[in-house]
Amino acid sequence: MGYVQEKILCNQPSFSPVAIKRGEWKDGMIVRMPNWLGDAVMAVPALLQLRKVIPKNCGLFVIVPPGLEDLFESMKFVDVVVALHQKHSKWSPDDKKTVGKLRAGVGVLFNNSLRDAFYFKVCGIKNVFGAAARGRSIFLTRAFKFPKIKNKKLNKLHHTARYMAIAYALGAPEWNGELPDFSLHADPEVMEHSVSEAVNASKLLVLAPGAAYGEAKRWPAENFRNVLNYWLEQGGNAAVVGTKAEKSVAEEVVAGIESGQVYNLAGKTSLNELLLLLSKSDYCVANDSGIMHLAALLGVAGTAVFGSTDPTSTSPVSDKWNILYTSEECSPCFKRTCPFDSYKCLKNISAEQVIGTIKKTLSL
């Protein structure tokens, strides 16, 4: 039994199989991916397996929120990507028209939206499958019930296992840990000079000190800086990445470091450029975040620091990652900020521990 079965799918629920007749597929299957980047990445293995049950001459279509289309358009096994006009909103007339024209006979919801289940039916999708949530079972051909997430307890049901359980019920073959092939590109003419330099840098460390969810997922900037200094001492180059909202965190990490080997790219990369940068890197250190999941999906080795969240539920789907987590009596609390203002679940993980995982993984 390999890493995937032992660590990711070990507690996966089993559902009775669903039979879909050949004529019910119409022109293919459409899958609504999760809105959050990390959740969307954790659903990719199930999406990859679903591709294998779709009849010949039928397509695999995915619906994503705006901003994630570049990721799925880079996946060779996806035929059509539909980007909705807004993330948390009713579908526009164009959204409904585009989905309806695809003539999908089977729909899968990898999110918990009642609204999306309703729109699948509006668009003429006869067979719709997804988790039982928010009273939407009335719109589902089959609703799958999963255990609720509990605070202050390791739930031991990985998100990937949830998505995979639905895929298996629809006839998908067992996943062996394979990850998709990507067609990555970025236009050098529109790429910022610093991004271009980082992409072409040797011995590249990527640091992702942000986390959109909140401060309770962010390891102290000082610790990231200590890891950065260690890497520079080894003669490496480094890129600090994140969203525009995480610029201040990135600036804290690079504060006081005067080196042409460090690129502060927070808010400067498109998703395509971030994918390319991560694919060129030698190692990544990140909080529990979308960037952590992206790096793992691309086959990059790394270390993830977990604070308020549950590593048994959202760890990177990769055997190349080291997970650091302290089991405090109050964790995982899933809070955006620490209720006690101590953040001890993060502060009790030292820079030396992270550096130790780098040394061990890369034999430095």
pLDDT classification of 8: cutoffs 50, 70, 90? confident
Tell me how far apart the alpha carbons of residues 117 and 130 are, in angstroms, rounded to a whole number.
9
Same-domain check for residues 332 and 245: yes
The pTM (predicted TM-score) of the whole model is 0.95
Domain, as residue range, for 84: 3-169
Q: Are 149 and 65 in contact (CB under 8 A)?
A: no
| 108-117, 180-189, 276-285, range with the lowest pLDDT | 180-189
In this prediction, residues 162-168 reach a mean pLDDT of 97
Average pLDDT, the chain: 94
Same-domain check for residues 118 and 243: no
Torsion angle, alpha carbons of 271, 264, 298, 270, to 10: 10
Beta pairing class for 106-109 and 59-64: unpaired
193 Cβ contact partners less than 8 Å away, ≥ 6 residues apart: none
Tell me how far apart the alpha carbons of residues 181 and 37 are, in angstroms, rounded to a whole number.
18
Residue 236 inside a domain? The answer is yes
pLDDT classification of 3: cutoffs 50, 70, 90? low
Same-domain check for residues 41 and 142: yes
Same-domain check for residues 132 and 52: yes
Instruction: Please give the pLDDT value at position 155.
Output: 87
Q: What is the CATH number of the domain that holds 116?
A: 3.40.50.2000
Q: Are 228 and 253 in contact (CB under 8 A)?
A: yes
Same-domain check for residues 222 and 264: yes
In this prediction, residues 37-43 reach a mean pLDDT of 97
**Tell me, what amino acid is at 84?**
L
Residue 177 inside a domain? The answer is no
Same-domain check for residues 151 and 238: no
| 47-56, 146-155, 344-353, range with the lowest pLDDT | 146-155
Q: Is 60 exceeded by the pLDDT of residue 353?
A: yes
Residue 178 inside a domain? The answer is no
**Phi, psi dihedral angles at 47 (to 5 degrees):** -60, -40
pLDDT classification of 153: cutoffs 50, 70, 90? confident
Complete edge-to-edge strand list for the sheet that includes strand 142-144? 80-83, 59-64, 28-32, 106-109, 127-131, 142-144
pLDDT classification of 1: cutoffs 50, 70, 90? very low
Same-domain check for residues 96 and 202: no
Residue 214 inside a domain? The answer is yes
Instruction: Please give the pLDDT value at position 88.
Output: 85
Q: Is 50 exceeded by the pLDDT of residue 248?
A: yes
Tell me how far apart the alpha carbons of residues 74 and 81 are, in angstroms, rounded to a whole number.
10
Residue 50 inside a domain? The answer is yes
Residue 309 inside a domain? The answer is yes
Number of domains in the chain: 2
Same-domain check for residues 145 and 223: no
In this prediction, residues 158-163 reach a mean pLDDT of 96
Q: Is 80 exceeded by the pLDDT of residue 326?
A: yes
In this prediction, residues 189-196 reach a mean pLDDT of 87
Residue 186 inside a domain? The answer is no
Q: Is 80 exceeded by the pLDDT of residue 4?
A: no
pLDDT classification of 185: cutoffs 50, 70, 90? confident
Same-domain check for residues 261 and 325: yes
Q: Is 60 exceeded by the pLDDT of residue 2?
A: no
Same-domain check for residues 111 and 234: no
Same-domain check for residues 329 and 210: yes
Residue 174 inside a domain? The answer is no
Same-domain check for residues 276 and 151: no
In this prediction, residues 246-269 reach a mean pLDDT of 94
Instruction: Please give the pLDDT value at position 182.
Output: 93
pLDDT classification of 259: cutoffs 50, 70, 90? confident
User: Which residues make beta-bridge pairs with 144?
Assistant: 131
Q: Is 60 exceeded by the pLDDT of residue 179?
A: yes
Tell me how far apart the alpha carbons of residues 251 and 304 are, in angstroms, rounded to a whole number.
20
